Chain A
């Protein structure tokens, strides 16, 4: 069940990233680039968690990827508000 959810989340994040990349290609709005990159990172995060497993000693290190994605989004929101 856990692997199923990890796979579903990885795929969903990837599809969302592709949507935002398409929006960026159409509008050239940097905010969509930030969001697309962040969701791509979250997709990679889920894949790595799936490969390593929940009990891996590197589990908390992998969460640094997720943290990077959230920080990227906050930077994108700040950048959008500044413009």
Chain B
């Protein structure tokens, strides 16, 4: 159950990233690209979290960095688009 939640988070965030990239390729709306890149970062965060739990490492700080990079990219995209 515990590991299952982390597996599902990793899979769903990866699915979000892939689906958003597909929708971006169809419509070429830049906001979708920034959102897709954000979810790539969140997916990386969730995958590292899963590895952290399964392999019993301690990557508490390191696993948050891809998520932070993703949200910074999305914020950049949102601020650029709102001008």
Binding site for B on A (CB under 8 A): 1-2, 5-6, 8-9, 12-13, 15-16, 19, 35, 54, 60-61, 63-64, 66-67, 70-71, 73-74, 77, 80-81
Residue A70 contacts which of B1, B13, B78 (CB distance < 8 angstroms)?
B13
Q: Which residues of A contact B8 (CB under 8 A)?
A: 67
Q: A19-B82, A77-B16, A77-B19 are in contact. Are A63 and B5 (CB under 8 A)?
A: yes
Smallest Cβ distance from A42 to chain B, in angstroms? 8
Q: A2-B61, A15-B75, A16-B78 are in contact. Are A8 and B16 (CB under 8 A)?
A: no
Q: Complex Cα distance A72/B57, Å?
A: 30
Q: Which residue of B lies closest to A5 (CB)?
A: B64
Size band of the interface chain B makes with A: 20 to 34
Q: Which residues of B contact A19 (CB under 8 A)?
A: 78, 82
Q: Complex Cα distance A76/B72, Å?
A: 22
Binding site for A on B (CB under 8 A): 1-2, 5-6, 8-9, 12-13, 15-16, 19-20, 23, 35, 38-39, 46, 60-61, 64-65, 67-68, 71-72, 74-75, 78, 82
**Chain A contact residues, majority secondary structure:** helix
Q: Which residue of A lies closest to B34 (CB)?
A: A16
Q: Complex Cα distance A77/B46, Å?
A: 20
Q: Which residues of B contact A60 (CB under 8 A)?
A: 1-2, 5-6
Q: Which residues of A contact B39 (CB under 8 A)?
A: 73
20 sampled A-B residue pairs with Cβ under 8 A: A2-B64, A5-B61, A5-B64, A6-B64, A9-B68, A12-B68, A13-B71, A16-B74, A16-B78, A19-B78, A35-B35, A60-B5, A61-B5, A63-B9, A67-B8, A67-B9, A70-B9, A74-B12, A77-B19, A81-B23
